[in-house]
Amino acid sequence: MRLLTKLIAAAAPLALIPLGGIAAAQLGPGDPAQVVSTAAPTCSPVPVDAPPGSMIESVQAARKPGGTVTFPATPFSPASEITGVPAYCEITVTVTHPGANDHVKVVVALPETGWTGRLQAIGGSAYAAGNFGAPLVQAVKDGYSGVTTDAGVPTSDNPLETGWAVTTDGKINTPLVTNFATRSVHEEALIGKDVTQEFYGRSITYSYWNGCSTGGRQGYSEAQNHPDDFDGILANAPAVDWTRFAVATLWPQVVMNQDHHFPSNCVLNAFRQAAIAACDADDGVANGIVDRPDECSYDPRTLVGTKVLCEGEEITVTPADAEVMRKVWAGPTDERGRSLWPGLPKGADPAWLAGTKVDADGTPSAPGFPVAVAWVQSFLQKQPGFDTSTITYRQFTELFRQSVKEYDDIIGTADPDLSDFRRSGGKLITFVGSDDQLIPPGGTLDYRNQVERRMGGAERVNDFYRLFLAPGVEHCGGGAGPVPENPLGALVDWVEHGKAPATLAASTVAGGRTVTRDLCPLPQVSRYSGAGDPAAASSYRCTNN
């Protein structure tokens, strides 16, 4: 196989050229780059071992000049730029799997100078398996060889695209679903390490995963299924228990359509602000944040009769408004009223999961959370154009159970047995925002509880897996609360120096001033000490209640 891949690489558009003379000093844990060379490595295709069960189709290389790298705005991200990027070599490896008719692209970005000996793999979002933009370039700037993959899924500016999941004859494209769920992330790790070793003439010292949302789920998949791939995994706001989450977040749309009532977005926001006002001080300080939404007992019926100003029009909150909000907060239930999944946190922005759309003629509707809509349309109904607004309460429960039965073994990512990851010496850090408006944090908290029950309690689990609750923080960052400043740095210190993070330093800017807070690993939470500036981390402490 090694000979075959060398021949394929030689036939690539850029000819295989031997690496320039390079000698690398062995890096110690956490040391800065100490590469000693007379010339930068030549940017050309390298021989690549095909991961088991795959074949290499091509290897291509392109030198990137570095400097200031800009990224245009997309429908889901603003324009941005990264300065001070070293010149780097971008090697693209395309693999296929016999019988799958797939073409999986893996891109490895290798800095010509300043490489620290580390590899950083980049996760995706929604239905995109990777990110070829700013995160990959940031990894290069920070001295990593960066790697990401498209899983063979057609890419576009829209990470919500799922047409690839269904074949023309209305069946699930099992190879692509398998790629997206688990296979391509593992192959990304193998190829990233192999290409890096060939490029620099030495193996990596440490490997890290960095992802949020879908990228968070991918990180947990690696810990569960391929525990030796990464020394450290940073997996924030993870979409664990995907088969339940991806249906459960359609619940608000079902509620509105089945109850035939569509509260305006400003009324929904009025409920949110009322819940914050009612529960803000429960943690001992009034700072506009509900630290533990699951402990907030605010009843939306108390807002009935209140007048809300919506785009210049005064609207009176009705009992029907309150009932919709109650169900959205409570979360989906089955036909017997039993909870299926946590609801939207009180204090979180309801617009994504429960937002109302008003047509030009004034007709309101509930479009539904796009990730959930796409999952039901493509993966469950196998009809990308299926109208999810027609789903009844009973059908919702049936779809929920179908999702778990049909896909749990493929993409569920909910196995609480992390024994192999612990034995491998791996470390896992996660933060979840209490105001996560896309993936209710209750799913991750429940998964952590299952791991503790399976693996000997919180103290033993914290030896290798630490989960931090970020009060007031939204999905992957943003919101009213302080956001972790450098969780990847904390992970590196833990892996390379054995320094388990007692806290994660977090900050944000609110009202023109910087607000700081040290986040605590569960079962501890950050609580106001009763004195001092509520905007200063020194005024908080870690406590078990």
pLDDT at 75: 64
Average pLDDT over residues 270-279: 97
Out of 436, 493, 518, 526, pick the active-site residue: 436
Look up 54 and say whether it is catalytic: no
Look up 436 and say whether it is catalytic: yes
pLDDT at 78: 79
Question: Distance (Å, rounded) from C-alpha 425 to C-alpha 88?
Answer: 31
Which pLDDT tens digit goes with each residue over 185-236? Answer: 999 999 999 999 999 999 999 999 999 999 999 999 999 999 999 999 999 9
Measure CA of the first residue to CA of the last residue in the chain; give whole Å. 57
pLDDT-derived band at 12, boundaries 50, 70, 90: very low
Which pLDDT tens digit goes with each residue over 462-486? Answer: 999 999 999 999 999 999 999 999 9
> Do residues 160 and 352 touch, judged by C-beta distance below 8 A?
no
- What number of other Cβ atoms are within 10 A of residue 513's Cβ? 9
Average pLDDT over residues 41-49: 95
Q: How far is CA 451 from the centre of its chain?
A: 19
Q: How far is CA 514 from CA 202, 258, 511, 535, 537, in A?
A: 43, 44, 8, 7, 11
Which pLDDT tens digit goes with each residue over 374-424? Answer: 999 999 999 988 999 999 999 999 999 999 999 999 999 999 999 999 999
Backbone φ/ψ region at 44: left (φ over 0), alpha (ψ -120 to 50), beta: beta
**Whether the predicted pLDDT of 43 surpasses 60:** yes
- What number of other Cβ atoms are within 10 A of residue 452's Cβ? 20
**Whether the predicted pLDDT of 3 surpasses 80:** no
Helix 214-225 vs helix 184-200: crossing angle, to nearest 10: 80
Question: Distance (Å, rounded) from C-alpha 500 to C-alpha 502?
Answer: 6
Q: Which residue is it, tokens 């833990």?
A: 494
Degrees, nearest 5: CA angle 349-126-427: 95
Counted residue by residue, the chain has a size of 545
pLDDT at 76: 67
Look up 213 and say whether it is catalytic: yes
Out of 475, 493, 518, 526, pick the active-site residue: 475
Out of 145, 213, 221, 434, pick the active-site residue: 213
pLDDT at 156: 61
Average pLDDT, the chain: 91
303 phi/psi in degrees, rounded to 5: -90, -10
pLDDT-derived band at 147, boundaries 50, 70, 90: very high
Residue 300 has what DSSP assignment? G
Pairing of strands 118-122, 206-212: parallel
Which pLDDT tens digit goes with each residue over 281-333? Answer: 998 899 999 998 989 999 999 999 999 999 889 999 999 999 999 999 999 99
**Whether the predicted pLDDT of 38 surpasses 90:** no
366 phi/psi in degrees, rounded to 5: -115, 100
Residue 508 has what DSSP assignment? E
Question: Distance (Å, rounded) from C-alpha 264 to C-alpha 512?
Answer: 31
Residue 333 has what DSSP assignment? B
